[in-house]
Amino acid sequence: MKTFFKAKKTLLLSAMVVSVILLGAQLEGQSLSADTAEALRRIEEVFLLVNKRYVEEVDPDQMARSAIKGMLENLDPHSIYFDAAQLQGENEQFEAAFEGIGISYELLEGPDGADTLAVLNVLPGGPSEEIGLQSGDRIIQVDGRSTIGYTDSDVKKNLKGPRGSKVRVTVQRPGVGTNIDFDIVRDKIPIYTLDASYMMENGTGYIRLNRFARTTYVEFMKSLRTLKRQGMERLVLDLRGNRGGYMEMAVDISDEFLKNGQLIVSQKGMTDDSKESFYATSSGLWESGPLMILVDAGSASASEIVAGALQDHDRALIVGRRTFGKGLVQKQYMLRDGSALRLTVARYFTPSGRLIQTAYEDGDRSDYYANKAAQRRSDGTQTSADLLEGIADSLKYQTDSGRTVIAGGGVIPDYIVPPDSLSPLMRAVLGPSLENKFIRTWVDLHGASIRATWGETQERFVASFKVDDKMVDAFLSYAAERGVVVGDRSTQATESANFTTDELAEVRDELHALLKGRLGTRLYDRSAWYPVWSKVDHLLIESQKLWNPADDLALQYAEAL
């Protein structure tokens, strides 16, 4: 029944990227006020005068871009102009697909500072997986031309391309004496927005979404059904670092948790078509089970729609840290040259009436983001109760059951989990990404035997692979050569950060999880990282101590309707 209702929904505006409209076609035939017409003529006059009379030759395209950006500077921080090249990358992320050979890559520092191109992961379902490219392969030629010194721009220009076109890549594979040629037919490559979905302990399901793109609801529902078949009794939806995307996806996912007729989000703008409210329909897939939402300062926009709706209806326990605070709705307008204007057209409000937008002044982006960074630092030492103190009554709202929540500056979790401070040793490792670089060399040396042992069995790898003393010793030697010394290891590094074996023992679990997680990511993809890192993920571990209040919320919600 719910599918029928969803099919009948109007295409929703997005909290980040909305419908694409050709601006010229939309404005054609619309009359302008006398003041607006006069202002437009003044801009045109100045543009033509500068172009024709300025003492030096000017670039009219650059002038136009600067003028557009100047117009936006005095608006809000989220109204943005994209040139055609920038727009392509943006659209790929939210359309959840691109056309190419199907790899994620990294540029490795090569001789004389010239980077070399290496395969980080072969994307599932793409042509590179089909023809046998592997993580760790060095792509040394593309169509017979050397890739030494490649930049990101070179990779996109030469490896991306229209579906059905062909490209030949020459690969140097660690442990193989001769180069290998692969002829690859480019295809449409899906970009998955669901990072991980798996069963934790005690019947707890876990789903992590990295953004809200066109395919997110389909991915989410597939995982939710799988977890239910596996006996899920409670669910963690992890939205940490999820900066948002299509409002439609946030509404549809919220709908799976809420009862028929409950308000999910409303939006209000200057025009009639920007004023709308969205409600839950019937037969959600997880309308009564205990639910926990994890958020942090990187959770924004569509993520906050989900968290705000479920908090206001007392449907889920919100755990983590204060969210970003983006309560504005953008609509994307295509310009004639292939560039686009993403313009804020409305504000959105949670079911209780909260506007969670962070305050801004005249579109000043630098102050806006600097203030958000300062807020994140202060939030780390406070509880939810602390953040509610001193708040003006005008910013206080009530959930369905009468709990107090506040507007402005993001969604404040029901339970705040302060960030766990990293030890000096872990900072020394993570700063230069030593663990990642080490795992790359480890896979180069042992990749064949690792793949022979674990093959495609990601679940078995996660459950059974152990980081042994040999691997740890090899990593410590690698780190010592690069200035991070543990114990009395000899090193030729001119500058060293020295740590004791006791300090190593204190971070043993984190280090083992770090090495195993990076290895799993290279062998499979990012989905292998999360179940490994969950064993030491401070916020996730702390959240699992809060199922009693989450269970109570679920029971009260069921009884209230």
Options 3.40.50.620, 2.30.42.10, 2.40.37.10, 2.40.40.20; which CATH number does 97-190 get? 2.30.42.10
pLDDT in the model for residue 5: 38
pLDDT greater than 90 at residue 185? yes
**What tokens does 313 get?**
């209806």
124-154 in b/e form (b: 16+ CB < 10 A) is eebbbbeeebbbbbbbbbbeeeebeebeeeb
Cα–Cα distance, 255 to 283 (Å, whole number): 9
**Segments making up each domain of the chain, as ranges:** 1-53+62-96+191-419, 97-190, 424-539
For all residues of the chain together, what is the average pLDDT?
88
The closest alpha carbon to 262, from 304, 315, 222, belongs to 315
pLDDT in tens, 383-420: 767 777 778 888 999 999 999 999 988 999 999 998 88
Mean pLDDT of 23-27: 47
Mean pLDDT value across residues 297-312: 96
CA-angle at 176, arms to 172 and 182, nearest 5°? 45
If we measure between CA atoms, which residue out of 299, 283, 185, 292 comes closest to residue 245? 299
Residue 29: count of CB within 10 angstroms of its CB: 6
C-alpha–C-alpha distance, residues 384 and 320, integer Å: 10
Lowest mean pLDDT among 34-48, 304-318, 385-399: 385-399
Quickly count: other Cβ atoms within 10 Å of residue 276's Cβ: 18
Least confident of 18-32, 75-89, 322-336, 478-492: 18-32
Over residues 475-487, the pLDDT tens digits come to 999 999 999 999 8
Packing angle of the helix pair 469-481, 508-523 (nearest 10 deg): 90
264 in Cβ contact with 248 (< 8 Å)? no
Does 194 have pLDDT greater than 80? yes
Tell me what the mean pLDDT of segment 496-522 comes to.
Answer: 94
CB 88 within 8 A of CB 205: no
For residue 554, what are its two tokens?
Answer: 């679920």
**What is the pLDDT averaged over residues 427-442?**
93
* Distance (Å, whole) CA 561 – CA 557: 7
Average pLDDT over residues 49-77: 91
Cβ–Cβ under 8 Å, residues 497 and 430: no
What pLDDT, on the 0 to 100 scale, is given for residue 89?
A: 77
CA–CA distance, 34 with 45 (Å, rounded to integer) = 16
What is the set of active-site residues? 301, 312, 326
pLDDT reported for residue 116: 86
Which residues, other chains included, contact 31 with Cβ-Cβ below 8 Å and sequence gap of 6+?
none
In the structure, what pLDDT confidence band is assigned to residue 499 with cuts at 50, 70 and 90? very high
pLDDT tier, 494 (very low <50, low <70, confident <90, very high otherwise): low
Which of the four CATH numbers 3.90.226.10, 3.40.50.1220, 2.60.120.280, 3.40.1030.10 does domain 1-53+62-96+191-419 have? 3.90.226.10
Give the pLDDT score at 184: 95
Q: For residue 43, is pLDDT > 80? A: yes
Written as one string, the DSSP assignment of 193-240 is SEEEEEE-STTEEEEEES-B-TTHHHHHHHHHHHHHHTT--EEEEE-T
pLDDT class of 495 with cuts at 50, 70, 90: low
SS3 129: helix
Q: What secondary structure letter does DSSP report for 455?
A: T
For 264, the enclosing helix (H) or strand (E) is: strand 263-269
pLDDT digits (tens, 9 = 90+) for 262-292: 999 999 999 998 999 999 998 899 999 999 9
3-state secondary structure of 106: strand
